[in-house]
Amino acid sequence: MSVSRTARLFVSTVWLGFAPTSLMLAQTPLFEITDLGTFTGGVVPFPSAVNDHGLVVGNAFAPAGGYIPVYMSAAQSPAALQLLAGDINGFAFGVSNAGVIVGASTNGSGVDRGVVWTPSPSGYVVTPLPMTSAGQSPTIARALNELGDVVGELSNGNGFAWSAATGTIDLGTLGFTGTARGINESRQVVGGHNRIDLDTQVIDVGTLSNVTSWNFTAIADSGIAVYASSTTGPIIGTIQAGGTYEFGVGPTGYAAGLPGFVAGIDYAGDVAYSTAIGVPSGSVLHTATLGPVPLPSRIDPPAPQLQLDPWSTTISANGTIALNAFDQGSSQYLALLLTPKTFRGIIEGPLAATSAPVLVGEGTLLGGSPTTFKLSKAPASTPLALIAGLSRADLPFYGSLLVPTPTLVLTGLTTDATGKLVLSLTWPVGLPAGLKMYLQVWVVDAGAPFGVSGTNALECEMP
């Protein structure tokens, strides 16, 4: 929804001199690097997914051969995930913000079983996904959403979707390969050439002129999907209601990418992918307005000695990235976490609830530059308050945590019919480098225990 004139004036005159702007330019953020360390024996893991909290899952070479599924973060060295009894290998492919991980556990005969790892006080508990009513077993779990839906591939080659309410459902061939590779919070599944709405059972079929070898790989909450082709590379577009797939330069403003592999898409519509054109520009962040931007150019402080691996780039919904790189200075292969430097997500305690609304920021925080704040996953058409401060309070508040020390409380705003809000601002000039600001949104939420829900907080540090 658009922000009302009154709200815009309030923001521009009260909140540190912000002036609203009609520009909605997507700014590629600067990233700071964290070395995720090594697994047993000095083995460097390969990231396959990362969540908004910086929890990374992936796979590491096993001493006896094959792969071991691992999890890691800035505070946690790579650690092995438990396999099913008697199994010897496995893979981790997806992770939710609640820390639930999905993948596969493999026995000595090479038979895969789709599994879910659930966090517990003593570590992760592994559980196999159940068979379909026809007796087909999930072999690989590829992705999940915050609602707990899991998608992947069955033993008959078809795609599947599983939830606690429905059990395991056979999704068919999905128009091509059969593997379901992505699912969003609207329970839309993509894979092969199809998008399937699990609630309405509506199937949208993607079509590409003169291209047959391609697969959908991920889908954002907005419905924007990404796919990879062996001939045209990663491309971004939107499936239209009529069933056709718009791609290349079109309504979404995206252009066709270089040959390579699509890793994922974040809340802002930025797409991370890797190209086969070589390093160090093999890992790319693609935005609607700026096109492809090599990730090495967005690292701060600069790290010219790093060659980013073109085959292992993954992105979370809030823009956190995990990948591999080769350090030319030390001649070491690394697993790295790239955290957006200007907008750091703060999610603690009850704020980590899977149903909590999400606040993200876009922009460079340079004086006079366009800056955008986006709220999503909130109740539809509900009042909200934006709270800003120059320090952290971390106070218990309506069953959750109030992060900013309130300097400004902005009211008079509401979400749109989809539970979203976009605030577009011009960042003020003259703020000192290193100054930190904390922002958080609280929304009226009839489903919350105390009638309100808080988002994650954002720590904004002036460059």
Of residues 87 and 19, which shows the higher confidence score? 87
Pair of tokens at residue 314: 């993954």
Contact 456, 359 (CB under 8 A): yes
From 260, 364, 237, 362, select the one nearest 313 (Cα to Cα). 260
Pair of tokens at residue 461: 């540090």
Determine the 3-state secondary structure of 439 from DSSP.
strand
| Buried/exposed code over 196-229 (b: 16+ C-beta within 10 A; e: otherwise) | bebeeeeebebebeeeeebbbbbbbbbebbbbbb
The confidence band for 78, taking pLDDT boundaries of 50, 70 and 90, is very high
Structure confidence at residue 298 (pLDDT): 79
Q: Give the span between the Cα atoms of 115 and 210, in whole angstroms.
A: 37
What single DSSP character describes residue 135?
Answer: S
Structure confidence at residue 268 (pLDDT): 62
Q: What is the pLDDT of residues 143-179, one digit of tens each?
A: 999 889 999 999 999 999 999 999 999 999 998 878 9
Please state the domain extents for the chain. Answer: 5-25+344-461, 31-341
The confidence band for 213, taking pLDDT boundaries of 50, 70 and 90, is low
Whether 93 has a pLDDT exceeding 80, the answer reads yes
CATH of domain 31-341: 2.130.10.10
Please give the CATH superfamily to which domain 5-25+344-461 belongs. Immunoglobulins (2.60.40.10)
The confidence band for 316, taking pLDDT boundaries of 50, 70 and 90, is confident
Structure confidence at residue 347 (pLDDT): 58
Q: How much is the mean pLDDT over the chain?
A: 79
Q: What percent of the chain has pLDDT over 70?
A: 76
Structure confidence at residue 290 (pLDDT): 58
Q: Which residues contact 132 (CB under 8 A, 6 or more apart)?
A: 154, 160, 167, 168, 169, 170
What single DSSP character describes residue 173?
Answer: T
> Tokens 């790319």, residue?
284
Mean pLDDT confidence for 66-87 = 95
List strand residue ranges (DSSP E) for 51-137, in order. 56-61, 67-73, 76-80, 89-95, 101-106, 112-120, 123-128
Angle at CA of residue 103, ends 97 and 104, nearest 5°: 160
Structure confidence at residue 288 (pLDDT): 54
Least confident window among 213-222, 232-241, 247-256, 437-446? 247-256
Structure confidence at residue 448 (pLDDT): 86
Of residues 189 and 351, which shows the higher confidence score? 189
Structure confidence at residue 118 (pLDDT): 96
Q: What percent of the chain has pLDDT over 90?
A: 39
Structure confidence at residue 211 (pLDDT): 57
Of residues 224 and 144, which shows the higher confidence score? 144
Structure confidence at residue 299 (pLDDT): 83
Q: What is the pLDDT of residues 96-131, one digit of tens each?
A: 988 999 999 999 999 999 999 999 988 899 999 999
Structure confidence at residue 208 (pLDDT): 59
Structure confidence at residue 240 (pLDDT): 41
Q: What is the pLDDT of residues 246-272, one digit of tens each?
A: 333 222 333 333 344 566 777 666 777
Contact 100, 118 (CB under 8 A): yes
| Buried/exposed code over 266-297 (b: 16+ C-beta within 10 A; e: otherwise) | bbbbbbbbbbeeebbbbbbbbbbeeebebbbe
Structure confidence at residue 89 (pLDDT): 96
Q: Which residues contact 145 (CB under 8 A, 6 or more apart)?
A: 96, 183, 184, 185, 187
CA 224 to chain centre: 13
> Tokens 């952290």, residue?
392
Whether 450 has a pLDDT exceeding 50, the answer reads yes
Determine the 3-state secondary structure of 260 from DSSP.
strand
The pairing of strands 370-376 and 421-426 is antiparallel
Structure confidence at residue 129 (pLDDT): 98
User: Residue 248's CB: how many other CB atoms inside 10 A?
Assistant: 14
Pair of tokens at residue 266: 């974040």
Least confident window among 13-17, 46-50, 137-141? 13-17
Determine the residue type at 88: I
Of residues 406 and 273, which shows the higher confidence score? 406
From 368, 372, 325, 345, select the one nearest 458 (Cα to Cα). 345
Structure confidence at residue 16 (pLDDT): 40
Structure confidence at residue 204 (pLDDT): 76
User: Residue 460's CB: how many other CB atoms inside 10 A?
Assistant: 21
Q: What is the pLDDT of residues 321-353, one digit of tens each?
A: 899 988 888 999 999 999 877 777 665 544 444
Whether 12 has a pLDDT exceeding 60, the answer reads no
Contact 170, 158 (CB under 8 A): yes
Whether 186 has a pLDDT exceeding 70, the answer reads yes
Least confident window among 243-257, 266-280, 406-420? 243-257
